[in-house]
Structure 1
Amino acid sequence: MGHWWLRNIVEPGKLPLLLALAAFVLTFVVTRVITRLIRAGKGPFGNVKAGGLHIHHVVPGVVLTVVGGFGAVASDRHGAGGAIAAVVFGMGAGLVLDEFALILHLDDVYWSEEGRKSVEVVVLTAALGGLLLAGFSPFGVNDLTQQELQNRGSALTTIAMNFLFALIALSKGKARIAVFGAIVPLVALVGAVRLARPDSPWARRFYGRRPRARAKAVLRAYRHDRRWARPRRTFQDLIGGRPDPRSGRLPDRR
């Protein structure tokens, strides 16, 4: 175990990434537990206010992210300073992305249907961090041999092609596949060759005069959403809590 740790984590300089990812996930989990307790009226926690102003946890999250980011840049990644900066950055990122929906909508939508976006972004970020920790590099660089890496033309061509596949997948309305495809090129290729979602820019541009292709895209999207909508919502509710059914601006939750 010690040999594996040194060879796969310490020597490649992945310890800061591991610490940042662990701090990110742990901070998100603790934050969600606290906010759900507050929502249920349990525990000693309450609103954080300064002069009557409600301070959302995205605020200290931004501060921690900035401090950790600059600290990581200024520190040696193999030293203690880099490890501390990674933990601070991970904590800040966890607080910020937990309120990603609030930033996106510029409103307190934490417990609303729109608030599910925060959970989606956190899960996506954690998954990408795990892929990077496992050794995957953006745009297929990890798939190149040492000789190909030394050949700038081959490396740039591979990166450009994988980036193009990810971009096509994104234009087809497959955002999650595009993001994962930036790390795992085969995923981007699958997203690039499959039918676009009917409301995507690709469909509006290329399916306008192809009614059969558009009808097929609509049917496939309907079947996909019908199959995965309920499991996805159940998973999101398990992690982040069930959204508030009330409409309009929601009251402070803390």
Structure 2
Amino acid sequence: MGNWWYRNIVEPGKLPLFLALTAFIVSFVVIRVITRMIKAGKGPFRNVTPGGLHIHHVVPGVLLTVGGGFGAVASGDHGLGAYLSAVIFGAGAGLVLDEFALILHLHDVYWTEQGRKSVEVVVVTAAMVLLLLSGFLPFGVNDLSDTEQQDRLAVALNVALNFLVALLALTKGKLRMAVIGVLVPPVALFGAVRLARPESPWARRFYRHRPRARATARVRADRHDARWTAVRRKLGDWVGGFS
């Protein structure tokens, strides 16, 4: 365990990222517990409403994120300042993304169906940071040799190719595969070669005069949603506290 910690966290300078991720998860969990208690009318916590104005926790989250971000830029990669800034930034990001749906809809949808987007965004963000901590680098350029790293053209072509594959998966309606595929290219490639979802831009453009492809896409999408939507909903209910 000690060797893994030094090899993957301390030695490559990933400790600030690890601290930020830890603070991000902790702040999300803590604020979800507090909001559940407020909703249930339990405990000492209440909504902050000075002068009748409801202050959502995205507000202190933005302040912490801005402060932690500027602090990290000013502190560099190492030292107590960098570590403290990472914790502040992670805690602020957790508060902000917990109300991502409110920012998206510009309306308090925290406990509604639309509010589930906040939980999904938090889970995807945490997963991506975990991948970075595990050794993945964006666009799959971490496997290049020393000679290949010196060849900027090869690196640029590799980045561009993986970006296009992720973009193709996105146009086919595979949002999660596209996002994860930025860090793990095979995931985006799998989404790119699969049949597009019927409501995706790709399907509207290329399946318009292909009724058989549209029908097959609809059957596959319905089958996939029937299999996984209930699972995602239960997970979201458990994490987000939806009733």
- Superposition TM-score, scaled by structure 1 size: 0.94
- Kindly indicate whether residue 123 of structure 2 is the aligned counterpart of residue 126 of structure 1: no
- Which residue of 2 is the match for residue 9 of structure 1? 9
Alpha-carbon shift at residue 195 of structure 1 (Å): 0.6
Q: Tell me how far apart the structure 1 counterparts of residues 82 and 105 of structure 2 sit (CA, whole Å).
A: 34
Q: Which residue in the other structure is 2:162 paired with?
A: 162
Match of 1:198, SS state, is: coil
1:145 aligns with 2:145: yes
Quote the residue 1:59 is aligned against: 59
After superposition, what is the alpha-carbon deviation per residue over 1:202-232, rounded to whole angstroms, capped at 9, x for unaligned?
0000000111111110000000000001111
> Are positions 1:78 and 2:78 aligned together?
yes
* Corresponding position of 1:247: none
3-state DSSP of counterpart to 2:59: helix
State the distance in 2 between where 1:32 and 1:211 align.
45
Residues 175-214 of structure 1 aligned to structure 2 (within 5 Å) = 175-214=175-214
Equivalent residues of 2:8, 2:135 under 8 A apart: no
Stretch moving more, 137-146 or 13-22: 137-146
| Equivalent in the alignment of 1:225 | 225
Q: Once the 2 structures are TM-superposed, how far is the Cα of residue 175 of structure 1 from its aligned partner?
A: 0.7
| Cα deviation, residue 9, structure 1 | 1.1
Aligned to 1:90: 90
How far has the Cα of 1:241 moved from its partner? Answer: 1.1
**Counterpart contact for 2:165–2:188, Cα < 8 Å:** yes
- Shift in Å, 1:51: 2.3
TM-score (ref. length: structure 2) = 0.98
1:11 CA drift (Å)? 1.5
Distance 1:4 1:242 in 2: 37
Larger mean Cα displacement after TM superposition, 192-201 or 43-52: 43-52
* Superposition deviation, residue 6 in structure 1: 2.3
CA–CA separation in structure 1 for the residues paired with 2:138 and 2:25 = 22
CA RMSD between the two structures? 0.9
Secondary structure class of the residue paired with 2:135: coil
Q: What residue is the counterpart of 1:249 in the other structure? A: none
4+ long deviations beyond 4 Å: none
Query: How far does residue 111 in structure 1 lie from its aligned partner after superposition?
Result: 0.2
Residues in 2 aligned to 1:139 and 1:6: alpha-carbon distance in whole angstroms = 25
The corresponding residue for 1:248 is: none
For residues 108-119 of structure 1, the aligned pairs below 5 Å read 108-119=108-119
Q: Secondary structure at the match of 1:182?
A: helix
> Per-residue deviation at 1:144?
1.7
Residue 49 (structure 1) shift:
2.0
Task: Tell me: higher relative CO, structure 1 or 2? Use CA pairs within 8 A at least 6 residues apart.
Answer: 1
Fraction of identical pairs, as percent: 70
Of 221-230 and 50-59, deviating more is 50-59
Equivalent residue number for residue 39 of structure 1: 39
Q: Which amino acid aligns with 2:86?
A: A
Structure 2 Cα separation of the partners of residues 102 and 229 of structure 1: 22
Provide the rounded CA distance (Å) in 2 between the counterparts of 1:55 and 1:183. 36
Count, aligned residues: 243
For residues 79 and 229 of structure 1, the distance between their equivalents in structure 2, rounded to whole angstroms, comes to 45
